[in-house]
A = this chain, B = another copy of it.
Amino acid sequence: MMQDEKLKSPHDCEDCPIRHRAVCARCEAEELEQLEEVKYYRNFQAGQTVIWSGDKMDFVGSVVSGIATLTQTMEDGRTQMVGLLLPSDFVGRPGREGSAYDVVATTDMVMCCFRKKPFEQLMERTPHIAQRLLEMTLDELDAAREWMLVLGRKNAREKIASLLSIIARRDATLHLRPTEGALVFDLPLTREAMADYLGLTLETVSRQISALKRDGVILLEGKRHVTVPDVSRLMEEAGDDSDGGMFA
């Protein structure tokens, strides 16, 4: 296991790729300067654990690039993914010592970290940060509740379709790819990780993906590269309102 390196900030907040969507989105130039003082970057390799559940966290931060997962594990080993962290998502909880979940990088990842104590103090002085964090937390809560519907009431095929459409949607907003009608993206998760997200076994995930492919809902190139020829068809399969405000 190579140790992750702490780098001197490789770039300014000003031209940070997540400048306008992360927890710092609303900050003024002067507020950014204060953040820069407690900030540092960390690189993680695919597969590396960022934080273990229960561990003391001395930082919070934002995903700059790459993808991480948030998972919970029972004593007997059953695991449930409870969050998928994409660029601009926030990691850690101000006002709490330890992490409640395992955070694992599933791809190589760069995080913009803030030392926890100073960040918490900064938050008290800087409403722009607290406001933005509240907004992001409310969004995450909505996402978590939407996922509760998926876990509690959807069948395996609908679950897979739901996951694909969420990844597709987030991927689309990320690197603004218009692609009229069809969507193309890479799955950032193994079949097993998908199973952990969906409350299924990896075998069922594999079977349902094969079924969606067979039925023409998706096209696969290799195991990970997905094309969705008809997005509203996918949404139907997910059991959601078709075209739920997608063309906004």
Q: Which residues of A contact B (CB under 8 A)?
A: 70, 72, 74-76, 78-80, 82-83, 93, 95-96, 100-101, 124, 127, 130-131, 133-135, 137-138, 140-142, 144-149, 151-153, 198-199, 239, 241
Instruction: Kindly name the residue among A124, A142, A146, A198 whose own CB sees the greatest number of chain B CB atoms within 10 A.
Output: A142
Neighbouring B residues of A144 by C-beta, 8 Å: 141, 144-145, 148
Contact check: which of B74, B76, B83, B149 meets A145 at CB < 8 Å? B83
Instruction: With both chains docked as a complex, state the minimum distance between the C-beta of A177 and any C-beta of chain B, in angstroms.
Output: 27
Given A130-B134, A134-B133, A199-B151, are A145 and B79 also a contact pair (CB < 8 Å)?
Answer: no
Q: Which of B100, B135, B239 contacts A74 (CB 8 A)?
A: B239
In contact, A152 and B151 (Cβ under 8 angstroms): yes
Closest Cβ of chain B to A124, distance in Å, is 7
Top-5 shortest CB links A-B: A152-B199, A151-B151, A144-B144, A82-B145, A80-B149
In the complex, which residues of chain B have a beta carbon less than 8 angstroms from the beta carbon of A131? 124, 130
Given contact pairs A144-B144, A148-B148, a sample of 20 additional A-B residue pairs in the complex whose CB atoms are under 8 Å apart: A72-B148, A74-B149, A74-B239, A75-B239, A78-B153, A80-B148, A80-B149, A80-B152, A82-B148, A82-B149, A93-B138, A95-B135, A100-B145, A130-B130, A137-B137, A140-B141, A141-B141, A144-B145, A144-B148, A148-B151
